[in-house]
Amino acid sequence: MSEALLKIGELAARAGVSIRTVDYYTSLGLISPAQRTASNYRLYSSADVDRIHLVQRLEVHGVPLDEISTALHAREADVAAILDRVDTDLQCLQAAADSASPEMQGLLAVIATRVHSLITIALQIPPDTMLP
């Protein structure tokens, strides 16, 4: 049995966002219609509800929508490069923390906590949410 597709209003209601948000996320390539009707209406997969929630969680942590879109479209090789860059940045952060004043160490601890939270979210992204 095939999965029931959602009209834009149904997707918006299930995701708890406005139709305008669905339109905006579609225009940015964060979600894509699974197909279109004969009347050219967009139909979305129920998995797009989870994708919208993922985008919102990343956005709350300060990740810009254009970066989220880039990451969701990344191929495996791109992901490896991103992880290498994150590793380098974390090493720089650790070196800065080691030589920082006590006041700055508190700020750097907050930054490290935010990074850890973002990495945790990224690790929860199912591989099948990547766009073609």
**pLDDT given for residue 71 in this prediction:** 78
H helix or E strand, kind and range, residue 8: helix 8-15
Q: Taking a C-beta distance cutoff of 8 angstroms, is the pair 93, 112 a contact? A: yes
Residues 90, 95, 101: CA angle, nearest 5 degrees = 120
Please state the pTM of the whole predicted model: 0.65
When pLDDT is averaged across residues 32-42 and rounded to a whole number, the result is: 93
Query: What rounded mean pLDDT belongs to the chain?
Result: 82
Q: Which segment, 41-50, 52-61, 118-127, is predicted with the most confidence on average?
A: 41-50
- Tokens 């967009």 -> residue: 42
Least reliable range by pLDDT among 34-48, 73-87, 91-105: 73-87
For residues 101 and 36, the model is more confident at 36
pLDDT bucket at 1, cuts 50 / 70 / 90: very low
Judged on CB neighbours under 10 Å (0-12, 13-18, 19+), 46 is middle
**pLDDT given for residue 10 in this prediction:** 96
Instruction: Provide the Cα torsion 87, 93, 96, 98; round to 10°.
Output: -80
Domains of the chain: 6-129 (1.10.1660.10)
Q: CB within 8 A of 42, min separation 6: which ones?
A: 7, 8, 26, 33, 36
